[in-house]
Structures are given as structure tokens and as C-alpha cells.
Structure 1
Amino acid sequence: MLGAVRPLGGDELQRDDVAEILEQLVASGDLLELRHEGGRSTRLLYLAPPSFIERFPGTYMVMGVRPFGAHLIGDELARAIEYEGHTRVLKTDPVEADSELRARGLQRVAKDRWVARPSSETPADLIGRHQARLDVATTAGELDGLQLLDPASKVRYYRGRWRTPAQTDTGDYVARRPQAYGADLWCLVRLEAGAPTRLMEFPVADPVVPGRDEAWRYQAAVDALRGTAQQFRIRRGNQPSDDPTLDFFSPLPGFAERYVQFTGLALGKTPGALFSFRLPAAALADTTNFLTDMLWMTDQEDSSGD
């Protein structure tokens, strides 16, 4: 596994980085994460079919994985692919692009399908829906290895927000719990004096999406309602003509990452941020409005440049 993903993580890839890289590949459409109908809360990863989506005429995102290590595009057209982190962008003649890509076995994905999103709602409404479900959820019982996302912690240091429950914890928390096989399960847990009383697993609204996507949006609502909304930083560069860069300090749910990824260029990790995207200047206003509307985020200007 480490050898397979090392090109995306550099020579110093550690095992702790694998989960993060896999999440990026799911968000970019190279892998599919689907629920396994076997009576257990199990989700499996599958290779996504070779596909493409038109960002604008002449520029296409290509995604998917062919089995047995075969190249997605294996002929001279591959030279036109630009690689940036976990994304691949193909620039080619817009007149011939559709037929050329279909001839190579790639299927076209409609833009509306790629950037589909949940309904817009207020943080209070989203939290209220989940609390109502948790009120009638199963009794939690003893949960070994439980990790909470602390709502009182700093929103600009995501990794530092996770901790074990304390006796002073009472309320509803986004949490992860280990399972015998596979990645940790995402859930919403109700605690009383540090003891779990009720448990509801994510996803709740859409069984197709990864549980973390709904958990991250729920936490964004909690942070916004507490008056400490999650933030993104806008860096406009040294010249007025420079494309702005958006720095993020918390993970984005898949639908939001796809929206930003569709327009922008993924830059991976940058100093002081979890990840970043460079956007065309013309797309900044729409992207800012999207993040504010769907995740209740606030922006911070930084004109110091790259």
C-alpha cells in the first residue's frame, strides 16, 4: 500500500499519511467509497471507472484508475496531462476532446452531477435534525478507543482538535471509534459526564457519501453556532494579476472539495494550512459565497503574497 501511494506523498510518506491520501483520492474521483451490505458498518474502496469532466472548453479533469497498474491514458495524449498533487488536468483541442477521450475508454461525467450538493440550511436547523435522530438512537454502551472532536478547541488546528473523552464532557460530539478491521467509524455520540449514552453513525442523510463528509459539515455547523466559524484564508499574491490562493485549516466535505477542485488547482499542503487551492480571480467571489452558504465559513484576507 505504501509503495502504491508514495508518488502522491513524496519519499517520506508515513503510514499515518495513507488515510489522508486515500481521502483525497476519493474526493478527486479516483476511488469510490461505498457501503458494504453485510450487516456491519463497513465501507469498501473500489477503483473508480476512467472518466473525464469538462471544466471549460479545452480543459478537462481526468479521473479513475485502471486495474493492474495500467495507465489511464497510455498514448501521446498523456503528454498533455498536467499533474498537481492528487489531481490530473488534460488540456487538448475542445473540438476533438470528447471523441478522443471516449475512444480511450473514458466516460463523460456531467458537471451538475460532479458538483451536486446538499440543501442549504442554517447551522441550527442542521444540528436540530441530527439531535432529533440522536434522541431516538441506540444506546451507546461502552466504547473503547473513542476520540472526540473538541468544539472548544481552535478551529485553525484540525489535528489538535481530537482528544479522548473527559469526565467534564456533556453534550453531543462528533467522534471516531475503532473497529476490528478497517478505518475508524465516524459517529455522533451523546455524553453525560464523559460516559457515552447514545450513538448514531454517519452517514445519516445520504448512505452513499463517506461518513466523514457529514461529520465535517455537522462540525462546521457547531463551530458556526458557537461563534467560532471555520475559516479560510485568501492570499492574493504580489501582483494584481496573480490568481488568489485559498488556504484551508479544516477538511472540506467531499461536495465542497469537488466544487473548489472543479475551478481551482490543488496545491497540497502549504505552510500554516491543511491544504490550499489556487483559483482564477474570476471564480473567487462565487467560491467564497459557496463556502459561506454551505459551510458557514468566514474568510480572512492575507495580501502578503506567496
Structure 2
Amino acid sequence: MAVTAITSRELLQAMRQACGLPRVNEKHLDEPLLAALIRRAAGFLCPCSRTTVAASVVESLEFLCDQPETLRDRVDAAIESLIAFGDLLELNQVTIDDPNAKGTWIFAAPPGFVKLRSGTVLLLGISRDESMPLPSELSEQVMYNRFARLLPIGDKGQSAALAALGLTAHTEEAWARQPPTTTPQALVEKLGSKLSSIPASGDLPELTFVRSDSDVRYYRGRWGAPRNETGMFIGRRPQEFGREARWGVVQLTNGVSGKFLDLPTRPRWRGCDEAWYIQMALDASRRTPQEYRVRAGNDGVHLDFFSPVPSWAERRLAIVGEPAPREKCLFSYRVPQSELKAQEEYLQKNLWLVRVDDKGVVEG
């Protein structure tokens, strides 16, 4: 039997075909293929840790990508995006009976779909046997926008047809998992009441927290150890046996922790998402709101962010736009000019952010 040598480009194309992706001229490992490979691995391996899925994918691709030194970072970021979209679920989003399950475990979400307000359908979840259980007439219509799988606007029977195939229908509100609109002051008062109702935690060694007097434009520089601060803050406390640090709301008195409210406080939320949301409320209530910037680009408008945003807010950005190279910010999204007004209204009303121009002047 003759053995035929193939190039890495030919192998990547074969992988695309096996994952049900359309054939393109892309010779590199692009985001739709990376997402499809992670879904395939998760379908076989989950429930398991993120590390298990990431290691499996990295091992299979390390000799096929142009920059293997950055592959693990790309895979980790892709897994994070698939969790944000809803293809993967973290442990705190589900309930199991195993008390030994690690907090970093992820699960493959069952196949489902969300009909967005625009009429476009977002496909979710993972099937163990195939990338998505769709007949050929529908699978050929799927559009791949980075990590998202979308179906164009169909007729009135589209949702019923998808449900008949066994896909679970989710409302956009349930999929977004975003909190109801409120004010920063109301959210801070609610958290204060929760803190007052829990027992004292005692001093927490190695606690880190977000300083209230720090620059809202430098997220990493806002973190530090308590000194003599008093008040309510977002913090992280280490856990035993090498687990990731726990997010929470901490009450400090002269730099000493008195109470620590573990996050998340709601099912299907992540601790980091709720923490970032609460930090936005704390900053806004202290009259030092977090900021975003708008920059003009050749192929759209750039929204620059200086602090992380909750996954439900990033899902909105990812549906209408795509990540862009950052410029003196933490991360940036490129969105069409037609979407800018709606996105800004959401950021200002629901996350209490304020817009600054390129010179750092707040726009009123």
C-alpha cells in the first residue's frame, strides 16, 4: 500500500471537512476550526477540567500551526469564548451529586438554539456524534462568525423545525443570563444587606482586592493587598489544594477582613462575571465610573475597554462585531457603525460606563 504525504494545509482542510465546516482558502488554524475541534474534544471528554480539553486539543495541533508557542493561549481563549456563548457550561452553572468535583470542571451543553431579535438563529451546544445534528439542507446554511454558529433568518416554521430535530429552544433573555436593569446604588445597597446577614469570616490571609482609589483605566494595577482601607470591595481569597482563588465581596475595617460573600450569588453565573459587574456598580456609586472609548476604523468602529466586562455583555459584542487589535486598552471590539448607538446605550444604561474621547475627555 502506497503512503502519500500531505501538507499541513491539506490536513487542516480535511479537518474542516470532518467538522462540517465549509471549505475555504484559509491555510492557517482559524477560529471556526479551532472552536469546532474544541467542541469535538469536549463532546468526548466532558465532564472534565478545562485543562483536560485544552491539553487534548493542543496535543493534536501543536505541529500544525504556524506559532505553536501561542497555541495554548489561543485554545484557552477559545474555551472561554465557548463558555460565554453557551456551548460549554462551568460547574457552577449545573448541579451534580459528586462532592469531589473540581470547581474548574466544564460540561458539554446539549444542542439548542436562540432566535435573536434580528431573526438570526444562534446554534448552541455539543453533540457527541457530530458537530450539530442538522440535516444537510440546514447545515449548508450555517454561517461561522469566529466562535459562533448562525443560521440566517428563515420562515416562521424555522424554530419548530429545529425543535423537532431535538434542539432545545432558549429565549434571548435566558441565553444572555443578564441581570435586570437597576442602578448602581440599588445594587450596592442590596449587597450591603447580604453582607450584614452572613457570619463573620475572620481574617483572610493572602486576600487581594480592588482598590477604590486606583485608576479605572488600569485594571491590573487596581489589585493589591489590604492596608488600612474600610468599606465594601471586590476581592479574591485563595482556596486549599491549589484551586483557583475565590471571587467575593469583602467587608474591610482598617484593612482587616470581617466578612466575605462568595460569588456567584446566582445560579448559571460565573464568579468573575458577577464580580466585574459589582465593581462597575461600586465605581459608579463612588462617582468614578469605568470608561470606554470609541475610535474610528477603516472597517467599522472600535469600542475600547479598560476593564473586563461580564460575559453577557461580551456576548452582545461578539454577535454584532469581533475582537480587534487593542490600542492602549485591555481589549477592543470592532462593530459596524450601524450598531454603535445600540451598543453604547447598553453600556451606559446597564453597566454604567461613560464614554471618553481619544484625549481622555468624558463625553456628556
With normalisation by structure 2, the TM-score equals 0.67
Three-state SS of the structure 2 residue aligned to 1:143 is: coil
Matched, 1:255 2:312: yes
Q: How does 1:198-213 map to 2 (within 5 A)?
A: 198-204=259-265, 206-213=266-273
Post-superposition CA distance 1:179-216 (Å, at most 9, x none): 23643221111223332211111123x23312222211
Q: Which residue of 1 aligns with 2:19?
A: none
Higher deviation after alignment, 179-188 or 101-110: 101-110
**1:88-237 residue pairs with structure 2 within 5 A?**
88-91=149-152, 98=159, 101-102=162-163, 105-115=166-176, 117-163=178-224, 165-179=225-239, 180=241, 182-204=243-265, 206-237=266-297
Amino acid at match of 1:28: F
Which residue of structure 2 lines up, in the alignment, with residue 52 of structure 1?
Answer: 113
Name the CA distance, whole Å, in 1 between partners of 2:86 and 2:79: 11
Q: What is the Cα deviation at residue 99 of structure 1?
A: 6.5
Partner Cα distance (1:274, 1:89) in 2: 28
8 A Cα contact 1:58 1:94, kept in partner: no
Structure having greater relative contact order (Cα 8 Å, sep ≥ 6): 1
The equivalent of 2:303 in structure 1 is 246
Which structure 2 residue ranges, 5 or more long, are not aligned? Answer: 1-52, 360-364
CA contact (8 A) 1:216 1:252 kept: yes
> What percentage of residue pairs aligned between the two structures are identical?
31
Q: C-alpha root-mean-square deviation of aligned residues, in Å? A: 3.5
Distance 1:232 1:5 in 2: 35
Amino acid at match of 1:289: E
Aligned-pair CA distance for 1:127: 1.0
Distance in 2 between residues matched to 1:248 and 1:285, nearest whole Å: 16
Task: Report if aligned partners of 2:207, 2:226 keep a CA contact under 8 Å in 1.
Answer: no
Deviation per CA, 1:98-139, whole angstroms, max 9, x where unpaired? 467556653332223334532322212211111122123222
Change over 3 Å in CA distance of 1:248–1:182 after alignment to 2: same
Give me the whole-angstrom Cα distance separating, in 1, the residues matched to 2:313 and 2:302. Answer: 16
The 8 Å contact of residues 80 and 92 in structure 1, kept in 2 or not, is answered as no
TM-score if structure 1 supplies the norm length?
A: 0.78
Please tell me whether the aligned partners of residues 235 and 247 of structure 2 are also in contact (alpha carbons under 8 angstroms): yes
CA drift at 1:157: 2.6
The equivalences for 1:27-106 within 5 A come to 27-33=84-90, 34=93, 36=95, 42=103, 44-55=105-116, 59-67=120-128, 70-72=130-132, 80-91=141-152, 98=159, 101-102=162-163, 105-106=166-167
Aligned residues, how many?
294
Q: Deviations over 1:227-277 (max 9, x none)?
A: 221122222324xxx532322222222332233334x12326534333333
Q: Which of the two has greater helix per residue?
A: 2
Whether the aligned pair in 2 keeps the contact of 1:35 and 1:44 (CA below 8 Å) is no
Q: Which protein shows a greater Rg? A: 2
* Aligned-pair CA distance for 1:297: 0.3
The CA deviation at 1:47 is: 1.1
Deviates more, 1:185-194 or 1:215-224: 185-194
Comparing 102-111 and 182-191, the one that deviates more: 102-111
Match of 1:273, SS state, is coil
- Contact 1:189–1:199 (8 Å) recurs in 2: yes
Structure 2 Cα separation of the partners of residues 227 and 281 of structure 1: 29
